[in-house]
Structure 1
Amino acid sequence: MSTTAVAELTGIRQFSVLERRVEDPGPGEVQVRVAAVGVCGSDLHSYSEGSVGDQTCKYPMVLGHEPSGVVVRVGAGVTGWAPGDEAALEPAMYCYHCEFCTSGHHNVCSNIRFMSSTEDAGFFRERLNVPARNLLPLSRGIGLREATLIEPMAIVLHSLKFVAPQLGDKVVVFGAGPIGLLTVVALRLAGVARIFTVEPVAHRREMALALGADAAMDPSNADVAHEIRGETGGRGVDVAYDCAAKGETTNQA
């Protein structure tokens, strides 16, 4: 047993960095040193508002669910991992026994636990133990900073699996935050013909264009639905991705 630094959210806009005990890894567990953590929009809501939607923060809590890390120690029964190995870290812990897990739908596990919730601490800490199955080996050329994008990228790829965009499709992406921008990248790689992006923030529109969007529109200065219909001969798009999830974007989509 040893100690590790932990950044605890103790109130709205209040963090405390404390030393907490970290146990030795148990059977099937791996102890990792956290190398980098992406900051999700939900982390920002928790920090600045004390809630995410209708889920109220219960203090103290540890945020962070887009992590990468380096193996420090392995517990009994763990194979395939050794100290120094680098990995992306899965924040969700599944039961692997319910009807959804056994049918391959782990994302809706009946007994899911999520590290970064009020019940389970997240990754804003130096070291912690995680189940070995929650480590994902990094492909050659992917660094620990880039690996923090694997969790949000998984969301994007899940949406593309649902929609199955076709070569030649015309699509619109509402919102050019991290999820929207990754969606633009994935759609460009998927071979769609034209990508419209709708985003009120100027520098995000610029990033969308740099990452492969064909047009980036400001909804505060235009009727984007009308303009997109005009640019598609009145037909509209084949698919609309709502990565902003605000009332007006859903209606426009």
Structure 2
Amino acid sequence: MQNTMKVAVMRDIGKIEIEERPVPVPLEEEVLIRIKSVGVCGSDVHYFTEGRIGDYVVKPPFVLGHECSGEVVEVGSKVKTLRPGDRVTMEPGIPCGKCEFCRSGRYNLCPDVVFWATPPIDGTFCEYVTHPASFTYRIGEGVSFEEAALVEPLSVGFYAVRRSGIEPGQSALVLGSGPIGLVTLLVLLARGVGRVFTVDIYALRLEKARELGAAEVANAREVDVVEWVKELTGGKGVDVVFETAGSVATTQQTTEVVKRGGKVVLVGLPSQSRIDYDIIKVIDKELDVLGIFRYANTYPGCVDLLNSGKVNLKALITHRFSLEETQKALEFAHQNKAESVKVVVNVD
């Protein structure tokens, strides 16, 4: 096997260069994986265009990318669950396994988690990575590497829906029909929730939502969303609202569209940390407001959904680029939200 690999390295804000680096060597409980596909996440775009997200600041050189899949090419001496040739998807966050959050099963809250493409940890826009076998999951032969890379965003929707406790027969509103909004829709439908309404400002994304099975869709530029929801629910509001757009306006809207005794699930990250929020409505309606941070214990369930064909992740992919075109991929995802849903970099 070759000793060096190509890596798309962020050298400065808005600047990616292809470099040669040594192929990493797996430790005894790790596997070496040849990367096949990497999804472009909104966080990658933020780091690429702004150099930071909150307190996480990029210090170049840095490698982006964390939604990925690949093929195992080598295993460590203690790895028994995987072997060379296995087609896999990888959970990008590795917790410490020792803190109170890890011990209680909420390892997404581990303060010492090591997460790909979150400074200072390099990501996966490269040809090879090493990864713990325990966070590497085999995928079915009928699943493409592009689909397998999207298990990561699917996990966000899976975790949000699971945390909400929504049941078949209830109604849901998904604010935002980008990749996270659409995977949330897919998980809701797979869970048996038939009345799922979606909102966005881009026609292409609403078309995707309708194609995937949304009961009703609305363009927030054309309709009053609050009045639209009231019409659909007999004036009551939905049982659960999922905010995935990460905008101040939609976050504020959540208390208006949810029914009394309902639930608000906050998935998206607004551009500002402090906003006006109608706490009186939260109290008066006795709402449960849930925050979602990444996910925990979701990958096995998501892989099962994907392997069984119960979710259509392929429909989310609108544009593809090569590893050498990583800069173009990031620029395209940033500049063409109205024309794209999920951009994927195919490494091999």
TM-score range, shorter chain: over 0.9
Matched residue type, 2:38: V
Q: Given that residues 59 and 118 in structure 1 are in contact (C-alpha distance below 8 angstroms), is that contact kept between their aligned partners in structure 2?
A: no
Counterpart-to-counterpart distance in 1, 2:245 and 2:159: 17
Counterpart of 1:223 in structure 2 is 224
Counterpart of 1:36 in structure 2 is 37
Assess, with a 3 A threshold, how the Cα gap between structure 1 residues 139 and 164 changes in structure 2: closer, same or farther: farther
1:10-29 superposed matches below 5 A: 10-29=11-30
Q: Deviations over 1:21-53 (max 9, x none)?
A: 234222111111001111101111111222224
- Aligned to 1:16, the other structure's residue is in SS state strand
Per the normalisation by structure 2, the TM-score is: 0.70
Assess, with a 3 A threshold, how the Cα gap between structure 1 residues 219 and 131 changes in structure 2: closer, same or farther: same
Counterpart-to-counterpart distance in 2, 1:67 and 1:231: 38
Q: Unaligned stretches of 5+ in structure 1?
A: none
1:1-253 superposed matches below 5 A: 2-253=3-254
Counterpart of 2:272 in structure 1 is none
Cα drift, residue 54 of structure 1: 4.5
Higher RCO structure (Cα 8 Å, ≥6 apart): 2
Q: Given that residues 4 and 125 in structure 1 are in contact (C-alpha distance below 8 angstroms), is that contact kept between their aligned partners in structure 2?
A: yes
Counterpart-to-counterpart distance in 2, 1:23 and 1:67: 17
- Aligned to 1:173, the other structure's residue is in SS state strand
Per the normalisation by structure 1, the TM-score is: 0.95
Matched residue type, 1:103: S
Matched residue type, 2:34: R
Counterpart-to-counterpart distance in 2, 1:164 and 1:183: 13
Q: Deviations over 1:172-208 (max 9, x none)?
A: 1000000101111111222224221110001001100
Q: Given that residues 11 and 62 in structure 2 are in contact (C-alpha distance below 8 angstroms), is that contact kept between their aligned partners in structure 1?
A: yes
Of all paired residues, the percent bearing the same amino acid is 39
Q: Given that residues 8 and 15 in structure 1 are in contact (C-alpha distance below 8 angstroms), is that contact kept between their aligned partners in structure 2?
A: yes
Structure 1 residue ranges, 4+ long, deviating more than 6 angstroms after superposition: none
Counterpart-to-counterpart distance in 2, 1:55 and 1:98: 22
More off after superposition, 141-150 vs 47-56: 47-56
Counterpart of 2:274 in structure 1 is none
Counterpart-to-counterpart distance in 2, 1:230 and 1:80: 52
Aligned residues between the structures: 253
Matched residue type, 1:240: V
Q: Given that residues 73 and 85 in structure 2 are in contact (C-alpha distance below 8 angstroms), is that contact kept between their aligned partners in structure 1?
A: yes
More off after superposition, 171-180 vs 45-54: 45-54
Counterpart-to-counterpart distance in 2, 1:33 and 1:111: 26
More off after superposition, 136-145 vs 149-158: 136-145
Counterpart-to-counterpart distance in 1, 2:82 and 2:178: 34
Q: Given that residues 61 and 117 in structure 1 are in contact (C-alpha distance below 8 angstroms), is that contact kept between their aligned partners in structure 2?
A: no
